[in-house]
Amino acid sequence: MAGYTVAMAKTIKPAIDNRDTLIVPSISLEEVETLSAAERENLVAELKAADARIDAGEFVVYDRDDQRRRFEKTYSGRA
């Protein structure tokens, strides 16, 4: 574990199955292409259209607790 400090190498107890996890720093660098002028215009138009739908009330409010239960069920292998 060269490069990690003692403070970084602490374990925590997650809510799922009482499994220990280890917290470590992670950095991911990726090269992303720059948008062309036409792609940028299209993206801005799509974002404005999405904002207009939200302003018109066309959206769904998700229950945070329900989303958490669905996430935990899916990723704990109990799906």
Q: How does pLDDT run across 2-25, given as a tens digit for each residue? A: 554 555 555 555 555 666 665 666
What pLDDT sits at residue 34? 84
Distance of CA 12 to the CA centre of its chain: 20
Q: CA 36 to CA 53: how far, in whole Å?
A: 26
Q: CA 24 to CA 20: how far, in whole Å?
A: 13
pTM for this model (two decimals): 0.44
Say if residues 43 and 35 touch (Cβ distance below 8 Å): yes
Neighbours of 76 (CB within 10 A): 13
Element (H, E) at 11: strand 11-12
pLDDT tens digits, one per residue of 21-76: 656 666 777 777 788 899 999 999 999 999 999 999 998 888 888 888 888 888 88
